[in-house]
Amino acid sequence: MLTQAAHATQLNHQPDIALPLRGKRADETSGLGALGVVMSVGRNMEVYAEGEPAGNVYKVISGVVRISKLLPDGRRQISAFHMPGDMFGFEADDLHHASAEAVTPVKVIAYKWQSLLAAGCRSASLVRDLLNLTMVGLRQTQEHLLLLGRKNALERVAAFLLDTARRTKSGSVVELAMARHDIADYLGLTLETVSRMFAELKERGAIRLESARRVHLLDRDQLAALSA
């Protein structure tokens, strides 16, 4: 496993601190805060690459991270967008099986997995925090699989908008961090189909497109009915 400093240099990261973050405001609500190292990652840079050794897990402080994998035919599948408060990087073995990239400039806290396991033996509250964050990620994965397996294109886009609004606490105006082609790869659709679905939701009066990335949710009930 690369050292933290070497990993940051290789991927153009900027580690903000090289010591435990005791009392660090960014993670002060969690018992995990004293164990991590904050890293800054530039837009479209990798937090880690598919095939790299897996020794760290990460928590998003700010920005958005996408988890993606290249398929044998060259297509890309995005399996998750991680937002502030989410944890990612958990693997069943010693390798990362997908890449994690910054959609926007991000800050993450990197935790050595072995350090978390050791600390968990001493702190029931830390185990609770870690388990809760892990279960949230599992629930999001299950919901994404349901979306891909059972919903049509319009339903997928409606569900994506409502989920993004909920996770970002955006209210009725959603600022999309990701481009349309990212949304397409997340929803298992083509870019053209995603654009058509946005246009159809607009025609139905469910949304107003204030810009390419700014979406006003006008009729949440209609969006919820479509995404149910």
Distance CA 111, CA 193 (A): 39
Q: How many other C-beta atoms lie within 10 A of the C-beta of residue 86?
A: 19
Query: What's the whole-model pTM score?
Result: 0.78
Same structural domain for residues 49 and 102?
yes
Which pLDDT belongs to residue 5?
36
pLDDT tens digits for 1-49? 343 333 443 444 544 433 333 333 334 435 555 678 899 999 999 999 9
Same structural domain for residues 53 and 110?
yes
CATH code for the domain of 57: 2.60.120.10
Same structural domain for residues 41 and 118?
yes
Which of 88, 120, 147 marks a domain boundary? Answer: 147
The domain total for the chain is 2
- Whether the CB-CB separation of 28 and 76 falls below 8 Å is answered with no
Q: Pick from 109, 58, 55: which is nearest to 80 by CA? A: 58
Which pLDDT belongs to residue 1?
38
Same structural domain for residues 138 and 202?
no
Same structural domain for residues 171 and 210?
yes
Q: What is the mean pLDDT of residues 194-217?
A: 96
User: C-alpha distances in angstroms, 100 versus 50, 63, 142, 152?
Assistant: 8, 13, 19, 27
Q: Which helix (H) or strand (E) holds 138?
A: helix 124-150
**Pick from 102-116, 121-135, 196-210: least confident:** 121-135
pLDDT tens digits for 182-198? 999 999 999 999 999 99
Distance CA 101, CA 125 (A): 30
Domain that holds residue 125: 4-147
Same structural domain for residues 203 and 126?
no
Distance CA 126, CA 59 (A): 14
Same structural domain for residues 14 and 106?
yes
